[in-house]
Structures are given as C-alpha cells and as structure tokens.
Structure 1
Amino acid sequence: MTGFAVEVRDLTARYGSTTALDAVSFEIRPGAITGLLGRNGSGKTTFLSVLAAFRRRTGGTVLVDGEDPWENPRTMGGTCLVRESGDVVLDEAIKENLSFLADRRPHFDRTAAEALLDRFELDPDKRPDRMSRGQRSAFGVVVGIATRAPLTLLDEVHLGMDAPARYAFYDALLADWIEHPRTIVLSSHLIGEVERLLEDVVVIDKGRVLAADDATTLREQGLTVTGPADAVDAFVVGRRVVARQVLGRTAQATVIGTASDDAQRARAAGLELGAVGLQDLFVHLTDRAAGEPADALTPQESR
C-alpha cells in the first residue's frame, strides 16, 4: 500500500456568506507525509472534511485516488479523518471502540493499537468521553495510526496532549509510516515540532494557498541577511522582504527568493546569510495587517 493521491483544482467551500476555501489548487503525493499548515480559521479543517466526504464542496474539483470522494464508498472506506475533538469514536469503552474499528477498517491493526494504548497509558476499559482532553487526544492518535488508512488525515489531533505525549506521537507516527507507507496529512500550527516529519508542505491562510511544495524546497526559499544596515539594504533591492529588524547600525532582513551567487555577494559586502526554518517562513508568510490578505509565494519563489 502506497496511499491515495489527492488532486485539488479550484476547490471552493462556503458556509453561507463565509468563504472557507477560495479556489485552491494543489496536489498531495501518495505515500508522503504532508504538513497542512495554517493559523486557526485558515480553512484547514474544511479542506480535510471535504477530502473525507464529511462536507460537500461548493465548487471546483477534488479527486482522491482518482475519484470524487463525495458519497464514494471506496474512497471513504480508505480515508480516516481524526479531529482534535475526538468525534470519530463511540461512547463506549476504548476496547469496544477498537472492536468496532477492527470490524470496519480493513487495515486496522488491533495489536498495534493495544501497544499504543500502553505507550500513552490509556485504560482500555475507560470510555473516551470520561477521559481528560489529553487522554482523548491520545486515543485519537491511536485510532489514526492503527487504522492505517491509505489516506490518513490528522487534524490538530495533538493539541490536547502535553509535550512528552506529543513527541511520543510524532515518533510513533513516523515509525509506523516507515513500516506501513500511506498518505498522511498532518494539520498543525505547531510547526517547529512537526517539521522533522514533513516531506511536503501546504501553507493555507484565510482560505487561500500561500505555498505548496516539498519541505526542502520551501526551506531554501527564505534567508536572513545580517550586517551593516546600508549593505543589507543594497543586498535586498529587488527582493521580497518579509521582515526587517534594526539595532543601531546593524540590520537583519528576511527575504524570499534566493540566487546562485548570494553567498559570494554576501561575503563581498561583509554580510552574513542564515537559513529560515519552516516555522519562521510560515510566520512571515501569514503575517499581515488586520483584514489584509497574506501574499502567496510566486511560482519563481516556490521553485
């Protein structure tokens, strides 16, 4: 099993007068772990709900493994959406939930699920609705990993968990994906924590896609330039500057877009270049004045 591919073209989703997704287009590679990154209210949950056929799109095209997922038994059966609220489970004991899933999910691994219960110290005789928020989130993680669906969608499932539990989740998810490759979409705004898991990244903001590419390529799109303020200003002419700080005569600018001779030019001007991580790139891309849209990466910047 390599997982389902996802193709989205001009996808639009509206709730009354609110546009949650505004003609977004991108692809999700089969068998990859893709990070769906965005602030609260950016449209992440709406997008995942459309993929899982929980919500019907307003316009555009969505293909899951080459087919429209809406009321499609095959793709719906191969898709697992786990949300932070834990609404994928029954109001029964955990062990009854596991039996329910084992009967209905062809790839569900009960042994793996029970091992994960031990790892997160969850009582199989306890009902999820009588557990703490963190425990419910951990059980959602168990469901998402052990179901091993060809398209696994994890929507902020880790938010109720403390730091040790979150890192245990990241390790368990990666280890299981290596053993059983499938398509995983991990929605999060804890980018510094999940960055190491991600092969591909989609950044979404206010219903628009700001960037969609492999993680390595996106990391290479930003750089920091530090040195004398006048030299920094000269270096960034003609570039897209997304952040700038000044301390006395020293300045630092964060720019999008790199050139092959950047290192040589920087050394000649007495400047230092630094990398920009995914989290910093995300913050800069989605930073805007209240009510103003953020700017997407252009095709030249994202390649």
Structure 2
Amino acid sequence: MNIQSKALSKKFGSFYALHDVNLSLEEDKIYGLLGKNGAGKTTLMHLMAGHLLPTSGDILLNGSSPFNNRAITKDVCLINESSNFKRRLKVKDILYIASQFYPNWSADTAERLLKQFNLKPKLNTKGLSKGMESALGIIIGLSSRAKVTILDEPYIGLDASARYTFYDILLEEYEAYPRTIILSTHLIDEVSNLFEEVMILKEGSLLLHEPADELIEKSLHISGKKEVVDAFCEGKHILGVKEMMGRKTANLFDENLSIEEAVSMGLEAERMTIQDITVHLSGSEEELSHA
C-alpha cells in the first residue's frame, strides 16, 4: 500500500503541527520517521492512520483518504507510545479484539511473541508494567500483519535486551510478510540499520526524505589542524564545528564529500551516523553549540 501526502497541513488552534508536507512512500519498505519532539511526527502518523482529518491538503493510501474509511484502515495498524488499549481487559481479550479488526491477523505470531516477551494471556492489562504494555503493543503491531504498520516509540519501558529482541523480531516478520513499516524513534543508533529510507521532520515541515545509505554518504565528520579543516570546509555545508587546543572538528552534509580527499589532506575522516545527522539537521544552532 503506497502513501502520498500532497501539501498536507494540520493545524491545532493557531499552531501548525504540520505545514505543506509532500511525501511519497512506496509499499513494502521500512521507513524511519525522525525529528525532535514536537516536530510533527505523531501528527503525521495519526493522519496516515485516519485518526485525524487534514486542515488542508491530502493524505492518501492507495489513492484514498483513510479518514472514516474502513476499507483502508483495516490495513493500517498504528501502535502509539502508550494508551493503545483499554485498561480493564485481559491480554487475551485485547488480542481477540485486535484479531477481529485486522483481516491478516496471525494468531501464530501473537502466540509466539507472547512467549518471547513472557506475557501471560490471563493477565489484566490494568496491572501491566510499562514494559509489558509496550510488549503487548508490539505484539499487536506485528501480529496484525497490516499492510501499513506504524510504530511510534513502541519500546518505551523495555530494557535493552528486550528492545534488541524486538528489532530482531521486526526484521523476521518483515522478511516473512513484507509490508510498509514506519518506525518513529529517538534511539536511532539502535535501529537505523533497519531503515531503507529516512524522513526527517523539523518544526512541522519535511526536512528531507532519502534512502538511508545515500543520506550517510552525504555526511562527513572530520578532525585535524584548524587551518586544514577550514580549507577542506570552504564552500561546503557545515552542520557544526568545535575547536580545542589548536584542533578542530567539523560535521559536513553535502554532495560528493570524499573521505579520501580529507585523508589526503592529513585529516581524520568518517561518515556520520543517521542519529548524528538527524540531531545536527533538526537541532537549532543554539542547541548544537551546547551539544
């Protein structure tokens, strides 16, 4: 199921959570949706899931609006950071309700993941810890096998071991049953190797949308003598610089940034991580000066 937004804007009162966002997402890819808190990520995901109406512009899944459209929303599963289900039912009841909503539901996947996360079907959801609540949300998201599966910080409360288990399971499920997966996260370094494409939002606008490998190839972190760094940086897009005791480091984002050229000038050079790129592109100059 492909997703397109055309001049998409969403306003709450006088505040624009999203402004003039144009996106085109192909089906059966894993997308990273990144940006600071308040950048508009959650609003965009709720628009995709048909939970909100745009103020202006369009959000279309396979050419149709998802809002109040069961023919579309049955194939879209949005798992939020929290509040994904009523806190008065048992785990098995929540899973039964989900199985009735999603036509591609996999009972085998749900049963396997319950065991993987050590979650008992007869537990009352009112007594779930934050980690257990997150695990249940993940189980619903992956077992739904929805054509569009949207995960908004789905692992809050999970320890590191459980998070890496989730990443492994996510990849296994994607390979077994391809679908469009949109993952919003602040723990970018942990999961960035899963991203095929990356979208970065900043203050409600789409800053970029690129294949993950191309994004990394446009970045460069260099360090060395101040005058040499300055010479290499001339005419290039600089994301940030730091100086200490005659040495200088710089983060660059531009076309045709060559590690070999930097090394030939006596500089240390390496590509930046997607997390570093996101932080530097989406942060303000004041924030970066204290980073």
**For this structure pair, what is the TM-score category when the shorter chain's length is used for normalisation?**
over 0.9
The answer to whether the 8 Å contact 2:32/2:182 transfers is yes
Deviation of 1:179 (Å): 0.3
How many Å separate the matches in 2 of 1:76 and 1:290?
41
Q: 2:226 matched to which residue of 1?
A: 229
Q: 2:112 matched to which residue of 1?
A: 115
Structure 2, unmatched stretches of 5+, are none
How many Å separate the matches in 2 of 1:214 and 1:189?
19
Determine which of 56, 61, 64 is the counterpart of 1:67.
Answer: 64
Determine which of 245, 265, 269 is the counterpart of 1:269.
Answer: 265
Deviation of 1:268 (Å): 3.7
- Scaled by the length of structure 2, the TM-score of the pair is 0.94
Cα gap change, 1:267/1:289 in structure 2, threshold over 3 Å: closer, same or farther? closer
Q: Aligned pair 1:153/2:146, yes or no?
A: no
Deviation of 1:24 (Å): 1.1
The answer to whether the 8 Å contact 1:90/1:97 transfers is no
Structure 1, unmatched stretches of 5+, are 292-303
Determine which of 278, 281, 290 is the counterpart of 2:277.
Answer: 281
- Scaled by the length of structure 1, the TM-score of the pair is 0.91
Q: 2:133 matched to which residue of 1?
A: 136
Determine which of 234, 253, 256 is the counterpart of 1:259.
Answer: 256
2:32 counterpart letter in structure 1: G
The answer to whether the 8 Å contact 2:220/2:259 transfers is no
How many positions carry a matched residue from both structures?
288
Determine which of 215, 220, 230 is the counterpart of 2:217.
Answer: 220
Stretch of structure 1 that moved more, 225-234 or 89-98: 89-98
Q: SS of the residue aligned with 2:10?
A: strand
1:202 counterpart letter in structure 2: M
Q: 1:295 matched to which residue of 2?
A: none
Determine which of 235, 240, 250 is the counterpart of 1:238.
Answer: 235
How many Å separate the matches in 2 of 1:142 and 1:85?
14
The answer to whether the 8 Å contact 2:21/2:205 transfers is yes
Stretch of structure 1 that moved more, 230-239 or 266-275: 266-275
Stretch of structure 1 that moved more, 100-109 or 82-91: 82-91
Deviation of 1:103 (Å): 2.3
Stretch of structure 1 that moved more, 270-279 or 44-53: 270-279
Determine which of 118, 122, 126 is the counterpart of 1:125.
Answer: 122
The superposition leaves residues 243-283 of structure 1 with CA deviations (integer Å, 9 ceiling, x where unpaired) of 112222221111111427x3453244222221111011011
Q: SS of the residue aligned with 1:161?
A: coil
Stretch of structure 1 that moved more, 82-91 or 106-115: 82-91
Deviation of 1:110 (Å): 1.1
Deviation of 1:86 (Å): 3.4
